[in-house]
Structures are given as C-alpha cells and as structure tokens.
Amino acid sequence: MGEKTTFLSVLLTGLIFAIFGVTAFTACAGTGENYAEQAAQGADVFAGKNWNAPRRNNMYDRWEFGNDGTFHFWHIHHGEPLDRGVYRYELKDGIITITKEKEEGGSRYAYVFSGETVVLTPWRHGENNGAGEHAAAEHGATEHAPSGGRRMGALPEDPVTFTHAR
C-alpha cells in the first residue's frame, strides 16, 4: 500500500506543478491584447494605458492615459519627471487628435499599432489629405525631444514609436 500511495502522491504533486507551470507561463506570456485588432474595431486602445517614447540622452517622454479621454504628459529627464500637463484626446478613423487642457485647436496624428508599440505620425497641417497622406519627417528629432518635437517635452513633429509601459 505504501508504494501505491507514494506513486499517487508523486503523480498528484507532478500534476499540480504542471498546472501551476502552465498557468504561470500563460500569465507571463503577455497581456494577450491585440491593440491593432481592437483599434480596427473602434475601441479606445489608449484608455488606461501608459506609453513611453524612446530614450535619448537619459531622457524620454511618458504619456499616461486615463479612462476619461485625457492623458498626462511627463518628460523624464535624468530620472526626474517634468510635468508637461494634461491633454484631451479623441480617436476617429485611425486618427488621434490631441489638445492641451484649456487650449483650443489640436494636433492630429495617424496611429498604427504593432504588438506592444504604436507609431504616431503627424498629419500635414492645413491640407485636406483624405487619401491618408502622412507628414514626412523633414528633419530628425532634436537631441532634447524624445517624442520627436523641436523642443524638450513637445508634442511630436516627426513620426515616433511609443512602447506600451506597465
């Protein structure tokens, strides 16, 4: 009886560890969210998520989206967050329109998701480009503008790739 009990005990323990391992692997494998598919279905894929621009010279920009159509823009400079304010945003037909709180007018960007990244590409101002032409980068981003703007902590003026941050 002792050998049967030991065998069953080892088998049961192995089964429990196998189930735990599969569960842990599934949880660590990623969020399982397909942002591109959700965006195509009209979902607000930015709400409740944080996005980081690439790091340059110990700096990067972080956009922290709420669930209320706003996001907080932080410019992280040598680990110190600099507050760039709260912005409103609207999504429509693959375009995000961004307006700083208490200001009029907005900046428009096409957005395209790929895995855990989103590329924001500025639209040409003053042109009716219904065919979906995006603004071409005329010059590279400056050293002080991780998001592709001409000034430190500015909204992007060139295409920029943000990475989903947890």
Would you say residue 141 has pLDDT above 70? no
Sequence letter at residue 2: G
pLDDT tens digits, residue range 65-94? 999 999 999 999 899 999 999 999 999 988
pLDDT at 118 over 90: yes
So what's the pLDDT on residue 53? 92
Q: What is the pLDDT of residue 156?
A: 83
pLDDT in tens, 11-68: 455 545 444 443 333 333 344 578 888 888 888 999 999 999 998 888 999 999 999 9
The answer to whether 159 touches 123, Cβ cutoff 8 Å, is no
| CB 143 within 8 Å of CB 128 | no
Contact in structure between 64 and 50 (CB atoms under 8 Å): yes
Q: How far apart are CA 146 and CA 7, in angstroms?
A: 60
Pairwise pLDDT comparison (61 vs 132), residue with the higher score:
61
> From the CB of residue 73, how many other CB atoms can be counted at a distance below 10 Å?
20
